[in-house]
């Protein structure tokens, strides 16, 4: 599956069709867009746009081209970030100079941004366990396709007001009810922004929302947000694991995904 909200190696046949393309992003690229109003604590500034190659069921996509991303944040923080995006998947802020790749399928699409490249062969291998160090994942999973199973799993964990969606998926009888446990992961810390938006933190060495895809457990926590969109609903899922001083970027990364999601959901 393209969204990978289930954890570990891919479990459905469609994911085998995905090909990850990692690209190197030279630091000189990011010198073209400079933050503005650096004397303000919070300012309207621009960060460089970085297009990411992707591949999937219909073949490879070139990296999209785009203008610098306008954001509102501390100008000093903005100097360390860029906005990464692949075709047909939401963009995400991440540290400048990282690598990115996108994958997609009939159930949705995902973008991964990491400080080191991931070989395509590793990503496709059933033996590859995932990203063991820092990394960022953003996924858009469609609830009216085979992605409904992944959407239902997250709803069962953290969106109790949408329980009926999970029950309908279980009634299909395609996957057992045991695949959709209700209630949060015991160690996760949840902050509800609404019935459709929940921020989370999965502590270090713990199983939780943060480890439901390609980010493995390690000695650092994972932060992120899960967002339901539209009537279907679809799921926007973000997982962020940073280290050292880069940890200061996490709140802005999460908030920008929430802002972008709110803007894109208008009219859905």
pLDDT tens digits along 169-209: 999 999 999 999 999 999 999 999 999 999 999 999 999 99
Q: What is the mean pLDDT of the chain?
A: 85
pLDDT exceeds cutoff 70 at 268? no
Mean pLDDT of 198-221: 95
Give the model's confidence band at 44: pLDDT under 50 very low, under 70 low, under 90 confident, else very high. Answer: very high
> What are the φ and ψ backbone dihedral angles of 37, each rounded to 5 degrees?
55, 50
Within 8 A by CB and 6+ apart from 106, the residues are: 2, 14, 57, 145, 146, 147
pLDDT exceeds cutoff 80 at 8? no
On whether residue 251 sits in a domain, the answer given is yes
DSSP 150-198: HHHHHHHHH-GGGHHHHHHHHHT-SS-GGGS--S--TT-EEEESSSSEE
Mean pLDDT of 110-119: 88
Phi-psi region of 173 (alpha: psi -120 to 50; beta: other; left: phi over 0): left
User: What is residue 130's predicted lDDT score, i.e. its pLDDT?
Assistant: 83
On whether residue 3 sits in a domain, the answer given is no
Comparing CA positions, the residue from 191, 196, 229, 235 lying closest to residue 213 is 235
- Report the DSSP beta bridge partners of residue 50: 84
Comparing CA positions, the residue from 93, 66, 90, 74 lying closest to residue 82 is 93
On whether residue 2 sits in a domain, the answer given is no
- Report the DSSP beta bridge partners of residue 51: 85
Comparing CA positions, the residue from 127, 143, 90, 128 lying closest to residue 112 is 90
Tens-place pLDDT, residues 23-42: 333 333 333 333 333 344 68
pLDDT exceeds cutoff 70 at 6? no
Range of the domain at 160: 13-264
Mean pLDDT of 232-243: 96
Tens-place pLDDT, residues 156-169: 999 999 999 999 99
pLDDT exceeds cutoff 60 at 5? no
User: What is residue 197's predicted lDDT score, i.e. its pLDDT?
Assistant: 98
On whether residue 74 sits in a domain, the answer given is yes
pLDDT exceeds cutoff 90 at 10? no
Tokens for 108, please give them.
């949705």
User: What is residue 128's predicted lDDT score, i.e. its pLDDT?
Assistant: 72
What percent of the chain is predicted at pLDDT more than 70? 81
Residue with tokens 């709803």: 155
Mean pLDDT of 46-67: 92
Distance CA 92, CA 135 (A): 12
User: What is residue 72's predicted lDDT score, i.e. its pLDDT?
Assistant: 95
User: What are all long-range contacts of 160-169, with beta carbons under 8 Å and residues at least 24 apart?
Assistant: 161/195, 162/195, 162/196, 162/228, 162/233, 165/233
Cα torsion 166, 203, 12, 51: sign = positive
On whether residue 4 sits in a domain, the answer given is no
Mean pLDDT of 84-102: 95
* Cα 236 → chain centroid: 7
Distances in Å between the Cα of 31 and the Cα atoms of 25, 43, 50, 153, 222 are: 12, 19, 12, 41, 29
* CB contact at 8 A, 249 and 81: yes
On whether residue 218 sits in a domain, the answer given is yes
On whether residue 199 sits in a domain, the answer given is yes
User: What is residue 58's predicted lDDT score, i.e. its pLDDT?
Assistant: 85
The crossing angle, in degrees rounded to 10, of helices 148-158 and 163-171 is 140
Distances in Å between the Cα of 83 and the Cα atoms of 95, 218, 220, 253 are: 9, 26, 23, 10
Residue with tokens 């100008």: 75
The count of structural domains within the chain is 1
What's the N-to-C CA distance of the chain in angstroms? 24
User: What is residue 55's predicted lDDT score, i.e. its pLDDT?
Assistant: 85
């Amino acid at each position: 599956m393209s969204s990978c909200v289930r954890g570990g190696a891919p479990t459905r046949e469609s994911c085998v069709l995905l090909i990850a393309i990692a690209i190197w992003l030279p630091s000189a690229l990011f010198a073209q867009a400079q933050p503005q109003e650096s004397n303000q604590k919070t300012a309207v500034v621009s960060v460089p746009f970085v297009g990411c190659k992707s591949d999937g069921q219909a073949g490879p996509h070139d990296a999209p081209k785009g203008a610098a991303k306008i954001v509102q944040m501390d100008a000093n923080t903005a100097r360390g970030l860029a906005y990464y995006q692949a075709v047909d998947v939401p963009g995400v802020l991440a540290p400048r100079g990282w690598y990115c790749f996108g994958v997609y399928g009939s159930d949705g699409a995902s973008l991964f941004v990491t400080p080191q490249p991931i070989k395509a062969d590793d990503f496709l291998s059933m033996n590859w366990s995932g990203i063991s160090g820092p990394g960022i994942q953003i996924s858009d999973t469609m609830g009216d396709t085979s992605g409904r199973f992944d959407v239902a799993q997250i709803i069962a964990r953290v969106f109790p007001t949408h329980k009926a969606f999970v029950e309908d998926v279980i009634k299909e009888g395609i996957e057992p009810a045991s695949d959709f446990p209700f209630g949060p992961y015991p160690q996760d810390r949840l902050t509800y922004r609404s019935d459709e938006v929940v921020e989370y933190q999965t502590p270090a060495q713990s199983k939780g929302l943060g480890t439901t895809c390609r980010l493995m457990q390690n000695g650092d926590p994972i932060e992120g947000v899960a967002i339901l969109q539209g009537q279907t609903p679809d799921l926007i899922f973000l997982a962020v694991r940073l280290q050292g001083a880069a940890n200061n970027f996490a709140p802005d990364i999460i908030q920008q995904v929430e802002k972008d999601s709110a803007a894109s959901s208008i009219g859905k």
